[in-house]
Structure 1
Amino acid sequence: MIEVKDYITIAGIAVSVIFSFCSLIVGLKNAKKTLFINSVTASRIKWMDTVRTSISEYCGLILHVGLTDIDDEKEERLIIEKIDRLRFSIKLQLNRFDSFDRKIIEKVDHLSIIIEDEDLEDEVLESELNQLVILTQDILKLEWEGIKQEVRKGNLAKREKLALYYKHHLPNAHND
């Protein structure tokens, strides 16, 4: 015959099994969430580095073409080809539906056009390049702040993303 203490022991074992199972489920869910956040974060950091590298190389080549008299036609053609590849690469890394990204795309397209102007003043070119750099710094800062918040809080709610976006976008609105 089973005594009361046996029922208590069985109940204790059952509760332990249930708690262990729940802990396992929660642990797996948290591990999956952490893995996802780490994967997305790594991809975003890589994207930031790619954008930073592309923009800096693009600006350097635009400045070189704008400020230097290149006598060698072949060299000039190669530089222009590289500028074109970078321009399209930059545009493909950005979201054409985002107003912030669109400003960078417009500035990149504008710079590719104005360097063909032989009467372009050095100060104008440098100002245009500085505007592109500032826009890029702002978007990279926005992305970095988003990464930091997501690492701390997990997936951000839409209102948190909007607050972050407007914090970094509106105060630095660059009127062209």
Structure 2
Amino acid sequence: MGLMKSVITNVPNAITTGGIMLTCFIGIANIVYSIVNNRKTRFINTVTTSRITWISELRNYISDYISLIPLDSSIYMDKYTNRNEFFQNFYKKKLLIELMLNKEDDFDKNMQDVVIEIYNIVEEIYKCENLIYKGKLLDYEKLDTKSKELTINRLVEDLDNNTAKIIKEIYIELLEITKNNIITMDAKSIIKMCEFKGINRIDDIYIICINKLVGKLRDKIGNLVESSQNLLKKEWDRVKKESEKGKYIGNERNIRSYFLIMLLCIIVLFICFIKTL
């Protein structure tokens, strides 16, 4: 009878103590839950913001790179004297794009290749102009015959083999060359021969070659724009997927943590209740 009375007397105290402790533990659980959830949210937002910034910067770099490229051969002629300043800026834009891309990723690598191809084509256009305007090169007119030949040799050898082949094809077609010994000659040897013999139409051949290279340039720029659109779309899709995945994982972990804390609270409350009896 005394034991029963003691139990009855202690039950209200135990309930009161347990209620206070449960309230404290629930408050702590909510604080922990909020901290964990906020950290996950901040992390997701940081990753998403970084990707959005990357997408925006890459788009701007590509736009700036393309905007520098003249798509009219006459513009290259007009800007020939400013070529060094142009290439300094053009090369900088190329590097900025390359640094934004991951060469280990096939998609990025393909885009990087197109950016480099465009740069190389523009460079070849100016190499052709160097041959047209060789008289404007520093002290060229003051050189003796041998030194002029060495300068021409250097300019011709600096041409890409594919550019030299285009010049050869134009030369054969324009001058209606039928001699087999000329047709079978190395492309750069033909260019040197034209320069040394002073063939009148050689500059016209270079201009036609520049027009062909500008045509290639337009195609490559089209490829770059298309690749850029595909890459940016892929990255936007990745941002959405990672954001949704991060939220799902974060919520799942938070709910699991919350229930574990609640279970711990119940166990502690039960032990406290037993001890008060």
| Matched letter for residue 230 of structure 2 | D
**Residue in structure 2 matching 1:91, options 98, 120, 132:** 98
Structure 1-normalised TM-score?
0.78
Mapped partners of 1:116, 1:35: distance in 2: 46
Kept after mapping to 2: 8 A contact 1:66/1:115? no
Mapped partners of 1:136, 1:61: distance in 2: 17
Structure whose residues are more often helix by fraction:
2
Q: CA RMSD in A?
A: 2.4
- Count of residue pairs the alignment pairs up: 157
Q: Is 113-122 or 46-55 further displaced after alignment?
A: 113-122
Is 1:5 matched up with 2:12?
yes
**How far off is 1:69 after superposition?**
2.7
Mapped partners of 1:96, 1:155: distance in 2: 30
Structure 2-normalised TM-score?
0.51
Is 1:28 matched up with 2:35?
yes
Kept after mapping to 1: 8 A contact 2:118/2:220? yes
Is 1:108 matched up with 2:115?
yes
Kept after mapping to 1: 8 A contact 2:41/2:247? no
Mapped partners of 2:17, 2:73: distance in 1: 83
Mapped partners of 2:47, 2:74: distance in 1: 40
| Matched letter for residue 99 of structure 2 | L
| Matched letter for residue 17 of structure 1 | C
Partner of 1:145: 237
| Matched letter for residue 81 of structure 1 | Q
- The gaps in structure 2 that reach 5 residues or longer are 1-5, 126-208, 250-277
Mapped partners of 1:63, 1:140: distance in 2: 25
Return the index of the structure with the highest Cα Rg.
2
Q: Is 141-150 or 89-98 further displaced after alignment?
A: 141-150
Which of structures 1 and 2 has the larger relative contact order (alpha carbons within 8 angstroms, sep 6+)? 2
Q: Assess, with a 3 A threshold, how the Cα gap between structure 1 residues 25 and 67 changes in structure 2: closer, same or farther.
A: farther
Q: Say which SS state the counterpart of residue 131 (structure 1) adopts.
A: helix
Mapped partners of 2:84, 2:29: distance in 1: 65
- The gaps in structure 1 that reach 5 residues or longer are 158-176
Percent identity of paired positions between Structure 1 and Structure 2: 29
- C-alpha deviations, 1:4-58, integer Å up to 9, x for none? 1110121122222222212211210110111111122212111111100100111
Is 1:47 matched up with 2:139?
no
**How far off is 1:153 after superposition?**
3.0
Is 1:130 matched up with 2:222?
yes
Q: Assess, with a 3 A threshold, how the Cα gap between structure 1 residues 54 and 4 changes in structure 2: closer, same or farther.
A: same
Q: Is 16-25 or 27-36 further displaced after alignment?
A: 16-25
**How far off is 1:90 after superposition?**
0.6
Is 1:75 matched up with 2:167?
no
Mapped partners of 1:44, 1:66: distance in 2: 38
